[in-house]
Every structure is written in structure tokens, then in C-alpha cells.
Structure 1
Amino acid sequence: AANQRWAMQLDPRREKGDATAHGDGNPFKWVERGDTEYPWTSEFAIVMTSLFLGLTTGIAVAGFKTGIKATREFVYSGPYSDLVNNVGKVVSNNVATLLNVKAASINIEYALFPLIGGLSVAAIMVFQGNNLGPGVKGIVQEIDDGKPIDIGKYGAKTAAAIATLGSGVSLGPEGPAVELGAGMSRVISERLRMPRDVSHVMISAGCAAGVAAGFNAPLSAIVFALEIVQPSVVQSDDSPKSIRAAAPAVFVAASISAIACDLLLGGGETFEVKKDLVRMLGENSRILELPVFFALGILCGVCATSLRKSIEFWTNFYKGKIPNARFMRGVPRPMRPVIGSLVCGVTAAKYPQVLFFGYEKITNILVGTKGDNLMSLLTLTFVKMQLTASSIGSGLVGGIFAPSLFMGATLGSAYSQVVRGVFGLNLGSSPTYAIIGASAVLAATFRAPITAVILLFELTREYDVIVPLMATAAFATLTIDILESEGGQSANPTWAWWWTINSQSAAMA
């Protein structure tokens, strides 16, 4: 019929050399897709579309980061800050008198800073009917189910992430940036009426574009998409043509997105590691240091396992599934982010370092952690872990890339102090161990050792760090595999675990 819409796809029988496929010699077949004629899905067209996807994602992530920065300025140095500081001084003095401590040691105002983020997320949830839209896994499911796109929910989730991160809640921007890239791919696929298998490729390219723009690290983004995303979204009946186009599409989208975002932000709001921070031992001593890195990898694997377990615990807590927390079932869904932001704020009154202020805190740790003793570093690792898990479980919107790096950096620096002070070993610098620890926790948390190693190498530009990075990331990933398999939990070899947890949090009733 004239009003039917068709798309040209490569006949899978032709791919297999089946002689029955299109005797006229045409290797393509037309499949019904909608209302208008759509005569292209070639590999070249897929790659060119990924170029546009990379550009739009780079612009979108730049806008997203600008929104976080503007919100942070409003909360911490604008009118809201003036109000909170005035209230905080009065409350701090009264609390100090009651507890017989110095007022300067209590930062009561920090309890109110994240609160505005929780209230904003609650308002958005009410407006959206308690549904902030799908994560990456939900986007893939929408495509497979043929559901129409709801752009409003994508925008609402991005706004909720801006409010969450701008108010300092203990999460990170990379997860939302990845979802923003996946969302942009969904919009483009829907507008161009792309077939399902091509839409899967666009999701991989969109996620790569999100990571590239988020970290200004296109090489890591490419590895991330091909190591983690593509194996999770590709299906057995996807055409060989679309699978072949995945790698070049990811390459193009990641590179264009990183360039676009960097041009718009001028290099700001990105994680940077100074090159001179990495100081390793001499050539003859490096082999002796490897066992020390193996042990660090095991500790990082334990840390990543604890983070994952904590996220599951706090998610169940806010759902009211914990035996002693059944009362949470009666808490209205929009109130849970408010509670999560209050938990974050009250804790930050004592440990303000755990709040999200871009990558400033991680950078301070890498510079040398002056004034941070062993116990304070371990305390920050534990507190950051629990606040991150609580924030995710309550429904606040953000990712765990940055928190994983923070926890790994503090744990690595603490480990350096132990091997130096307790065992008296003359090893590499403390920032070196912080960088390697950050990579290892990231690798184990997402079960993405290649991505983690490439990312930290791309940020440091130091080839000498590659071998200890690989050794530590390998042992960290092995440790989490062993711990979770012994705990009766099936191993999730990719980022699919995070998609599942994120989707459950977003859909809590």
C-alpha cells in the first residue's frame, strides 16, 4: 500500500550464500517498517548517522555538565547558600553547646545542601507519575518491544540527575552521561525508523559517545562500548551487516562526541591526572613490587564486592524488604529521594569530602593526601561506599563511576601508607597507588578490566603504569568473581549488573 513504510535490510539468506535468496541478484529485501519509504540501512549510512549521534551527544553532555555546574553554584554560592549558612550558624552553635564540642567542627549547613536535590527529584517524580524514565537496559527493552519513545521522561531523568549532582549528592555524572547518549541514540533511531538491529548499534555508539564526552577519553569510551555495552545489547538474530558496522560507528561517535564536548566546555568539568604524579620504582625493582599490587587488587576486589552488596542492601531497604525496615513500604515513593539526600547531608556534616564537587576531591587525594592519615582514608572509603549505595537505593539519579574512582583512590592511598609505615617497604609514590587503586575498584565494580586500565592510562599518559594497572585490575576482577560465586550469586561479566540495579531503583513502587 502507498501509505506503508518500508526499510531495506540485507537478506540473512544472502549472507549465508543461500541460492533461494532473491533470484534477481538483489542482496537486499524490503521489510515493512511504517508510513513512509525508508530505502537505506547500509553500513556507510549507519556510520554517518553515528557521526551525527556523536555530535548531538557531545552537545547534550556539555549542556548536562553546564547544568550541574550552574546548580552547584546556586546551591553552594548563591541565594540558597546564604540561607543555609545563616541557618547553619545558629544550629551549629546550639548543637555545639549541647554536645560540648567546638562549633567549627560541625558543618550543620552541609546537611541542608543535598536536601534541595532530593526535594527537586521528588517534585520531578510527582510530575512524572513516579517514573523517571528508563536506563540503558530499559531503552533496549523499549526497542525490542516496539514501544514509542517518551522524550519527556528522558528529559525528566536528566533534570533529576542535574539536581542530584548539583546539590552534591554522593554520586557521579558518567552514568547519566551514558544514559544520555543511549537516549539520544533512541531519539535518532525512532525519528529515522531504524530497524531493531541497527538501533542496537546506535545504542552502543551512543553509550560510547556519553563516556567519551564525560571523561574526555574517547579511546576508553570505544573499549567500554565494545567490551561492555555491545555484548549486552546485541542479539542472535541481529544481521551481520549491523554487527560489522558496530565498531566503526562506535569509533566515530566517541571521537566526535569528545571533540564537541571539549570545544564547548574548554576542557573544564573533566577528570584530569597530572603526569608527574606517577612515580614508580626503578626498572630493576618493579618486578619486586608486583606482589604488592596483587594484594592491592584483592583488597580492591573486596571493596567492589562490598559496594555492590551495599547497593543491593540499600535498594531493598528503601523498598521495605529488609526485616527491620518494613516501615519503608509506607513511605511515599517521592519521599525516598528526600530521605536519601538527608542521609547524605547529615553524614556530610561530619565528612564533607564525600560530597560530589566534580573531581576536586579525587584530585586532592591524588596530589598527595596531605593531612589524611590511615584511619581517615579508610573511614572515607567506607562512608563514601554507604552514601553512594544509599543514594542509589533511594532513587536519587547519578552514576557510580566517580564514586568507584574515589573509593579506589582512598583505599590505594591507605594501602600505600600501610606497606610503607608498617612493612617499611620503599615503594612507588602514594598518588601512584591511589591511581592504581581507582582503576582496580572501577574494573571490579563493572567487571570491565580492559576499560578501567585503558581509562587510567589515557588520563595519566604514563606507559610505566600499564603493568601494575593490569595486574591489580586482574586480581580485583578475579576476587569479585570468586566472592560473588561463593555467595551463590551468579556472576555478571558486564555492566548488565548496573543496568539491572539502576532499573530496579528507578522503578521502585
Structure 2
Amino acid sequence: MAGALPGSVDTAGGEVRRAGSWAATLTLAAITGAVTGAGVTAYELVTDRMLYERVLELPPVLQAILPAVGLAVALVVLRTIARGASPATADDYIRVFHRRDEQMDPMPVPGRMLAGIATLGSGGALGFEGPSLYLGAAIGSAFQGRFGRFFRRADAKTLMVAGAAAGVAAIFKTPATGAVFALEVPYQDDTAHGHLLPALTGAAVGYLVQVAVVGTAPLFPVSGTPPFDLRELGGALLLGLLCGLGARGFSWMVRQAKFLGQDHLPAVRVGLAGATLAALGGISWWLFGNMLALGTGYQVIERLGDPDMTVGLLAVLLVLRTLATGATLTGGGVGGLFIPLAVSGALVGRLIGVGLGLDTTTTLFAVVGVAAFLGAGYRTPLAGVMFVAEATGQPGFVVPGLLAAVASQLVMGDASVSLYQHTRRMGHLERRFSMAIASVIDAEVWTVPADSTLDEFLDSMLLSRQTVVPVVEDGNRYVGIARVDLLGAIPRDEWDRHAVGEVADVELPTARPDWTIREAVEAMERADTDVLAVVDDDRRYIGVVSIDEIVRLDEILARRDR
């Protein structure tokens, strides 16, 4: 019997190992999803069913002042149980995602989750998805740390992403949205597609655990069958542009609120935020007979089809909801921005649809507004459209939603509600090139004084075994680069009468210590050289950077990443 070729044996063995690794990864992603789904389900039952639904049964005055109490409790919990942690949830996931050697810190998790219960259970105008995503990411990070032997270093965030996907999938009962959002939200113009299968697995299992307890009813009620003609499609494009502009304003408001939320007078900040929320709640009760300005906003979605909701009332409610979200953030509330963005989009969509007479029998424009506003605010257009399809159970909304989501992205620029998003993923070489030049500076290279003779220069080269030597004067002031091939321009018997400064190449560009490796490589290419001297503002010599050092660094990092 003929033996197998060595190459084929290695290939087969490699395939078996890869299959085993994937099986372990997806199994751990499923376990992460199950634990996250159970945690999110319990969190929702406590916060929404046991607390907030009871708040809605209280007299209006108590409903108006309870958000202030919730913010005060959240402040105390964050400072004590969470050990001074910030209110960040989704932002913390994005921040850690981009820090290669960092995992989610488990210490603030209980405190942040309790602060979220206080904020959302009392009527704060934020969403459940922030704490849900955060909980899932923390669970995934914990599993990643425990079972790190199954993962390459390049896959160090896999279970964190799977957990985040499961958290969003469970709270909204939208598995595809959970996966897409967890992959999209770290970037403005890209996705973390390398984690796709674990994210899908975690999201699917998290969703199944949630619906096994609370059922599968769509999150958003819709009415009518969406028309599919040019007028509605054109209206969707217009709505997308308006939602993009609105999302830019919303993003600016969120950033200002987060900035104010870092104030060193927390008691004053919480008091002012609580008073603002109470006033907004009072106005809402006076206009609508309900606290529509407060809470997560699900009640707003339910009221959009009400014929009594005129254009004027819709506009006022949009302003009230935006201010309430800003006040909750300023007061240090813990919650997400996914649902506030979705509610704002639904209000803008309904406002435009009713105002232009394009949407009187269906909720088409409200749903399309969700896709556009949400996709623009978080820079997650795919998640916005997917959310519309899954949350409504109506695939007919997808095409108008896609058009609106694209249009909204066109006017967003680099704005986002997140402080930690990167524009796009960087490839292997691009990551290397973005590193500081300090990582490849060789400060031990010998230098030669400019007034040294060529004989002395040659001796220095032989001793140091360098073919390129920086030339300095007055101690360490950089003059140029001397190379062995430049000696040929001077007759050998005259070397003792000529200084090295006379033959040094003074035209070569120099690098600055604050450059990146990319800038150094580009300067080398323009000058057709493989070495640059690094100098400061006063042209004092610091060291040299060479192609050889850059290649050596790349090899070291590549071995580390395996």
C-alpha cells in the first residue's frame, strides 16, 4: 500500500486541527450566548417587569421625580460597588475591542448593572441594550480568559464579540441584528468580520434563551402593507437625509452630555438632571396624558399610529425625548443609546410621513426612520436595516430602509454617538505602519564628529561594523550621513587631510521623533535611501531608523501574533 505524501499528511492534520479549533470556539460562543441570554432575560424581568411597570402605575408626580432618585442611586452605586467606574457600557465594549491586550474588567460589572437597573427601572430615558451588550461582552471576556488556550492571540476578542452579540440579540429578540451590531459598532466604515461565526452563534443561542422565557412577539407594532412605488422610495431617500442631519445633532448632544457628565460636582449635576427630567415628564403628561418623554421609549413607538398625534405634537415629543436622553446622560445614568436613536428615527419618520401626506395608512416612514437614524447615529447601517426587518417582522420595509440608511450615512461625516469608534479596520502592514517611530529607533549607532579625518572615519566604521554613520558637530548637533562609498570621491593619500563633514550627505531628509513608521518609510522612498537620522527641533541627533529595523520589528510581532 502506497504511503501518503508528507505534504498531504500535514495538510490533513492541519485541517483536523483547524476543525477542532473551530468546534471549540463555536461551542464556547454558544455557552457564552446561553449564559448571556439568561443574564439579560433576568435583567429585563427585574428592571422592566418588576420595577418600571410598577412605576407606570404610580401617580404622575411620583413618576416625574423618580428618575432623579434613580440617577442618585446610580451615582452612589458607581462610586462604591463599581469602585468609581464611569457609566459607560457599549462605549466600554468598543474601547476594549480596540485594545489588543486588554479584556473587559470584571470588577465594575455588578456595579454598572445595578446602576443600570436604578436608571432604567426609575424611568431614565436610555435603552436596555447598553447594559445587555456590556454584560454579554464581560461574560465573553471572562470565558476568553478562562479558555484562552483555544485561541490565537489574533482572536483574543472572539468571545467578547459573541457575548456582545448575544446581549443585543436577547434584549431585542433580534438575533441577526445582535450579531451585525456587535461586528459593526467598533468601526464607522467597516466591520469586525473575522468574528462572524462566533457572533452569529452567540446571538442565536442568546435569542433562543430569551424567547423561551418571554416569547417571540415583534418588538415594534406595525400597520398596513408598505407600498413599493417611486413616491415612497423617493420619500425614503429624503427621510434618510433628514435623519442623517438629525443624527448628527443627536451625536453632538450626546457628546456634550457625556462631557458635562464628567463634572466634578456630581450632586449638583444629578440634581439639575433630575429636575430637568421632572419638568420634561410634567410637560409630557400635560400634552399626552402620559410620561412619553421618560422611560425607554417603547410607549412612544406604540403611540405613533394614533391619529391624534399631529405634526406639532410629534415635533414636540421629539424635542422632549432628545432633551430627556441628554439629561439622563448628564446625570450619569447607565443605559444604551440604541433605542433612543430608534425612537428619534421613528418620530422623525412619522413626522415627515404625516407632514407630507405620504404615510397616513401605514407606519412605513416611522419604520424607515428607525433604520436611518439608528444606522447613522451609531454608524451601523446594516444593523439599522436588519433591526427593522427583525423587530417588525415585515421584510417589505427593507428596501426603503436600505435607501434611507445609505442616504443618512452620506451626511454624517465622522460624527457618531460613540467616543471610541475607529474609522475602519487596519490590515497587518497598516497596523505596523501606524506604530510610533520610537519602536524602531536605534540610539546605539556610533556617530563621528564632523571634523574627524577620513582615516578616523574609516577606523570608526571598522570598529562599529557600520556602513552608514551619522555625522555630528558640537557634541550632538546633526550634520549628515557618511557612507563608505563616499570615500571613493577622495584620493586615498589625501584622507588624512579631509574631514568627514566634507563628504557627508547633508541632503538626506531627517525624521522626527513623533513620526509614525509610515511617515519614515515614505520619506525613505522619496529620498531613495534605507536609513534616516532622527533629530529634534534643534537638529540634535537622537538615533537612526532603518528598513532593517522595521523588518526586524515586523518579524518579531508576527511571531508574537501566531
Rounded to whole Å, the distance in 2 between the matches of 1:25 and 1:436 is 49
Cα distance, 1:305–1:167 mapped onto 2, change above 3 Å: same
Does the CA-based 8 Å contact 1:413-1:430 persist in structure 2? no
Does the CA-based 8 Å contact 1:54-1:254 persist in structure 2? yes
Rounded to whole Å, the distance in 1 between the matches of 2:74 and 2:359 is 46
Alignment pair present for 1:399 and 2:336: yes
Q: Which residue pairs with 1:176 in the alignment?
A: 131
Does the CA-based 8 Å contact 1:59-1:264 persist in structure 2? no
Bigger mean CA deviation after superposition, 170-179 or 349-358: 349-358
Identity %: 22
Rounded to whole Å, the distance in 1 between the matches of 2:359 and 2:93 is 47
Q: Which residue pairs with 1:354 in the alignment?
A: 293
Which of 219, 226, 242 is the matching residue for 2:183?
226
Cα deviations by residue, 1:370-423 (Å, 9 ceiling, x for unpaired): 321111101111121122122223311011111112111111111122212xxx
Question: Counterpart amino acid of 2:25?
Answer: I
Alignment pair present for 1:309 and 2:246: no
Cα deviations by residue, 1:236-260 (Å, 9 ceiling, x for unpaired): xxxxxxx76x222112111110000
Tell me how far 1:136 sits from its aligned partner.
4.8
Does the CA-based 8 Å contact 2:71-2:331 persist in structure 1? no
Rounded to whole Å, the distance in 2 between the matches of 1:149 and 1:477 is 30
Which of 204, 212, 224 is the matching residue for 1:255?
204
1:268-279 correspondence runs (5 A) = 271-274=219-222, 277-279=223-225
Does the CA-based 8 Å contact 1:204-1:229 persist in structure 2? no
Cα deviations by residue, 1:153-204 (Å, 9 ceiling, x for unpaired): 1011011111111111111111221111111111111222455433311122
Rounded to whole Å, the distance in 1 between the matches of 2:246 and 2:258 is 18
Q: Which residue pairs with 1:414 in the alignment?
A: 351
Q: Which residue pairs with 1:340 in the alignment?
A: 273
Question: Counterpart amino acid of 1:189?
Answer: Q
Runs of at least 5 residues in structure 2 that lack an aligned partner in the other structure = 1-6, 285-290, 423-562
1:75-474 correspondence runs (5 A) = 75-77=55-57, 81=58, 85=59, 107-127=60-80, 128-132=82-86, 135-136=89-90, 138=92, 144=99, 150-193=105-148, 196-229=153-186, 246-267=195-216, 271-274=219-222, 277-281=223-227, 286-319=229-262, 329=264, 331=265, 333=266, 336-351=269-284, 352-356=291-295, 359-365=298-304, 368-420=305-357, 429-474=361-406
Q: Per the alignment, in what secondary structure is the counterpart of residue 356 of structure 2? A: helix
Cα distance, 1:206–1:391 mapped onto 2, change above 3 Å: same
Rounded to whole Å, the distance in 1 between the matches of 2:259 and 2:105 is 28
- Count of paired positions: 401
1:497-508 correspondence runs (5 A) = 497=419
- The structure whose Rg is larger is 2
Cα distance, 1:184–1:499 mapped onto 2, change above 3 Å: farther
Q: Per the alignment, in what secondary structure is the counterpart of residue 371 of structure 2? A: helix
Does the CA-based 8 Å contact 1:453-1:473 persist in structure 2? yes
Q: Which residue pairs with 2:507 in the alignment?
A: none
Question: Counterpart amino acid of 1:464?
Answer: G
Bigger mean CA deviation after superposition, 194-203 or 381-390: 194-203
Q: Which residue pairs with 2:524 in the alignment?
A: none
Q: Which residue pairs with 1:423 in the alignment?
A: none
Tell me how far 1:48 sits from its aligned partner.
0.7
Question: Counterpart amino acid of 1:298?
Answer: L
Q: Which residue pairs with 1:66 in the alignment?
A: 45
Q: Per the alignment, in what secondary structure is the counterpart of residue 170 of structure 1? A: coil
Tell me how far 1:24 sits from its aligned partner.
13
Question: Counterpart amino acid of 2:43?
Answer: F
Does the CA-based 8 Å contact 2:89-2:130 persist in structure 1? no
Alignment pair present for 1:48 and 2:5: no
Question: Counterpart amino acid of 1:361?
Answer: V
Q: Per the alignment, in what secondary structure is the counterpart of residue 79 of structure 2? A: helix
Tell me how far 1:62 sits from its aligned partner.
0.2
Rounded to whole Å, the distance in 1 between the matches of 2:364 and 2:178 is 23
Question: Counterpart amino acid of 2:41?
Answer: A
Question: Counterpart amino acid of 1:404?
Answer: L
Bigger mean CA deviation after superposition, 144-153 or 393-402: 144-153
Cα distance, 1:288–1:56 mapped onto 2, change above 3 Å: same
Query: TM-score, normalising length from structure 2?
Result: 0.64
Tell me how far 1:335 sits from its aligned partner.
5.3
Rounded to whole Å, the distance in 2 between the matches of 1:273 and 1:498 is 33
Cα deviations by residue, 1:57-97 (Å, 9 ceiling, x for unpaired): 100100110121212245444xxx4xxx4xxxxxxxxxxxx
Tell me how far 1:145 sits from its aligned partner.
7.0
Cα distance, 1:52–1:122 mapped onto 2, change above 3 Å: same
Does the CA-based 8 Å contact 2:73-2:118 persist in structure 1? yes
Runs of at least 5 residues in structure 1 that lack an aligned partner in the other structure = 1-18, 29-39, 86-106, 236-242, 321-328, 421-425, 482-489, 501-509
Q: Per the alignment, in what secondary structure is the counterpart of residue 447 of structure 1? A: coil
Cα distance, 1:294–1:109 mapped onto 2, change above 3 Å: same
- Choose between structure 1 and 2: higher helix proportion: 1
Tell me how far 1:497 sits from its aligned partner.
4.0
Does the CA-based 8 Å contact 2:70-2:118 persist in structure 1? yes
Tell me how far 1:125 sits from its aligned partner.
2.3
Rounded to whole Å, the distance in 1 between the matches of 2:106 and 2:84 is 16
Question: Counterpart amino acid of 1:379?
Answer: V
Does the CA-based 8 Å contact 1:126-1:334 persist in structure 2? no
Rounded to whole Å, the distance in 1 between the matches of 2:182 and 2:146 is 23
Rounded to whole Å, the distance in 1 between the matches of 2:94 and 2:365 is 38
Rounded to whole Å, the distance in 1 between the matches of 2:314 and 2:405 is 21
Rounded to whole Å, the distance in 2 between the matches of 1:181 and 1:462 is 28
Q: Runs in 1 of length 4+ with deviation above 6 angstroms?
A: 23-28, 230-235
Question: Counterpart amino acid of 2:156?
Answer: S
